[in-house]
Amino acid sequence: MPKRNISDISQLIDDDLKRFNELFKQSLKSKVALVDLITRYILKQKGKKVRPLLVLLASKISGGVTERSYRGAILVELLHTATLVHDDVVDNAETRRSFPSINAVWKNKVAVLMGDYLLAKGLMKAVDGSDYDFLKVITNTVKRMSEGELLQTSKTRKLDNDQETYFRIISDKTASLLSTCCEIGARASTNDESKIAAMREYGENLGIAFQIRDDILDYVGTSTLLGKPLGADIKEKKITLPLIYALKNSKADEAKKIIKNLKSGEKKIDVNLIIEFTKNNGGIEYAEKIAKEYSNKAIQNLSIFIESEYKSALQDLAVFVVERTK
């Protein structure tokens, strides 16, 4: 098991996170009663706050937390929350972190507008603070995240995902935001471009390792650990790294049988058959090896920084993301 999990690492900067939480709460205030009602509902849903944690740790390791660090952390958390609200609409999700989703309570129209509001709030926060360098980074991230989602949708329909496209999808869809958190955190406390680049790369590699582990857990996790049933991605016809490898490294007739099963419609998809096929053809071991490689790359990105408790925390985080069980 890794030395520390997210909660342990968060304890290290507990005071900074408490200040972030206060400022984040203030940033959500609105004069429109419905908006205020929904933002209070959002604040009840206590997430792990991984993204603000990354911004603040990146600032700590790069020179120290500043007011700009807090503004950057609020910006990325608002963007992240906006994308979750929109994702729930797209996926027709009925719950989010054990709470009924915003679209389930207030319907799709309100949920879409609320997501737009949160994104606009984040952008205004950067404008008001004259953090134009943050704006440049974050707008590119929004573009990448959208492209990643659309590319995944296209590949899900055609069932023709390959390894190169898979990495492009997870880099844009997941890693781009973690990379942005680390870059903004560094930018908030230093002008040293080598440190900024190192943190950007760290976040990218951490995000890729995190997503591969997430995809592995769809095959080897349990529904109680994940909060979603085993094989949920399979049922949605998402062909991720374990299955991509298994399809490429199995007998042609076996691979055809699996693709045919995936095409048979959600109710007819045999999740157990696909999980067993993936395990028997080395898909899990291969994905675990690649996730570890990206975790090690992330740790290597930190080599330019002097030893500190914050560097150790970021190293432990890179280990945790590939060893977690949920």
Summarize pLDDT for 35-64 with one digit per residue, the tens: 899 898 888 887 778 999 999 999 999 999
Summarize pLDDT for 162-218 with one digit per residue, the tens: 999 999 999 999 999 999 999 999 999 999 999 999 999 999 999 999 999 999 999
> What's the predicted TM-score (pTM) here?
0.92
| Mean pLDDT estimate for the chain | 90
Question: Would you say residue 1 has pLDDT above 60?
Answer: no
For the segment 158-164, the average pLDDT, to the nearest whole number, is 87
The share of the chain scoring above pLDDT 90, in percent, equals 69
Question: Would you say residue 228 has pLDDT above 60?
Answer: no
200 contact partners, CB below 8 Å, separation of at least 6: 179, 182, 183, 186
Question: What type of residue sits at position 299?
Answer: I
Identify the H or E element spanning 153: helix 132-158
Reported confidence tier of residue 121, pLDDT bands at 50, 70, 90: very high
100 contact partners, CB below 8 Å, separation of at least 6: 94
Which residue would you say has higher pLDDT here, 227 or 197? 197
25 contact partners, CB below 8 Å, separation of at least 6: 43
Question: Would you say residue 227 has pLDDT above 60?
Answer: no
Supply 316's token pair.
């432990």
CA 294, 202, 1 angle in degrees (round to 5)?
A: 55
Quote the pLDDT of residue 131: 92
Quote the pLDDT of residue 267: 73
**CB-based burial label for 207 (10 Å; 0-12, 13-18, 19+):** buried
How far apart CA 30 and CA 53 sit, in angstroms, is 25
Helices (H) and strands (E) in the chain, counts: 17, 2
Question: Would you say residue 8 has pLDDT above 80?
Answer: yes
**What does DSSP assign to residue 305?**
S
Instruction: Give buried/exposed letters for 149-184 (b at 16+ CB in 10 A, else e).
Output: bebbeebbeeeebeeebbbbbbbbbbbbbbbbbbbb
Domains within the chain, CATH numbers bracketed: 6-302+312-323 (1.10.600.10)
**What does DSSP assign to residue 188?**
T
How many Cβ atoms sit within 10 Å of the Cβ of residue 129? 16
How far apart CA 162 and CA 167 sit, in angstroms, is 9
- Which of 16-25, 92-101, 230-239, 243-252 is predicted with the least confidence, judged by mean pLDDT? 92-101
For the segment 256-265, the average pLDDT, to the nearest whole number, is 87
> What are the DSSP E strand ranges found in 81-204?
95-96, 99-100
The share of the chain scoring above pLDDT 70, in percent, equals 96
How far apart CA 138 and CA 72 sit, in angstroms, is 10
Pairing relationship of beta strands 95-96 and 99-100 according to DSSP bridges: antiparallel
For the segment 90-99, the average pLDDT, to the nearest whole number, is 77
Q: Can you state the percent helix, strand and coil of the chain, rounding each to 5?
A: 80, 0, 20
